[in-house]
Amino acid sequence: MLPIEYPFVSSSELHLGANDSITRDESFFHQGDPIMAYELETRRALLRNITLDDAQEYYDQIWSQPDVMRYLPGGAPRVREQTETYINYFSNHWATHGFGLWGVVIKETSKFVGHCGIQIIQETQEIEVAYAFGKDYWGQGLGSETAHASLRFGFEELGLERIIAIAVPENMASRRIMEKNGMKYQGEKRMVGFDLSYYVLMRHEFVPNNEPYLLRKL
């Protein structure tokens, strides 16, 4: 696990992993030259690479907002310059592993509203589904929609056997997203100074829905 000040976020926007191992196809954990990346479309959203051109909108939606940041490492808003550090970190994750966090853009308005995807937890090498959205976009089902697409990408495209998710217990909205997508509650874990709710979904348990899902290799 990265130190709490590092740019690594999760579904609770805290980073945690279980002590047990994950079964995974090692071919998806590349080192060295960048490999193929992806874009993904859902019914309402385009999931695409986050670039430095998104930095101001990303900061405005997520990293500057107290109500969003209370669930992220440190629990407080960041300065504008840190947003670019996060973007570079996420880009490096994609280049190294061939998957990571996408920026979420509303197709109808082209508005950048947050992030979603799957990423490696450094401490345990587990893979989690992660998401965060600007407060104006809470309660609209975007979390469930994009988390489901991210899980489908992980299981169907990458062949992962197991994906986890984390939430602080009082973050019921995040936990409902996990449960709506079939993730199973495994208990509470004390990590980085927080008691966290820990969820798991296995590939054989995942049931894709009938919502639009269009994956493109770049």
Cα separation, 26 vs 127, in Å, equals 13
At 17, is the secondary structure helix, strand, or coil?
coil
In order along its 218 residues, the chain shows pLDDT tens digits of 232 334 444 444 433 233 333 333 444 444 444 455 899 999 999 999 999 999 999 999 999 999 988 886 667 889 888 999 999 999 999 999 999 999 999 999 999 999 999 999 877 788 999 999 999 999 999 999 999 999 999 999 999 999 999 988 889 999 999 999 999 999 998 765 677 899 999 999 999 999 999 999 98
- Confirm or reject CATH 3.20.20.70 for domain 26-217, answering yes or no: no
Contact 196, 14 (CB under 8 A): yes
**Residues 138-148 pLDDT 10s:** 999 999 999 99
pLDDT at 188: 95
Question: What is the maximum alpha-carbon separation in the chain?
Answer: 43
pLDDT at 190: 74
Which has the closest alpha carbon to 129: 143, 114, 142, 119? 119
Domain spans, the chain: 26-217
Cα separation, 185 vs 59, in Å, equals 31
Strand order of the β-sheet with 162-167 is 184-191, 194-202, 162-167, 127-133, 111-120, 101-106, 45-48, 38-41, 214-217
Q: pTM of this prediction?
A: 0.84
Query: H or E element: which one contains 178?
Result: helix 172-180
For 108-127, letters b (16+ CB in 10 Å) and e give eeeebbbbbbbbbbeebebb
pLDDT at 12: 41
Which has the closest alpha carbon to 101: 53, 56, 64, 149? 149
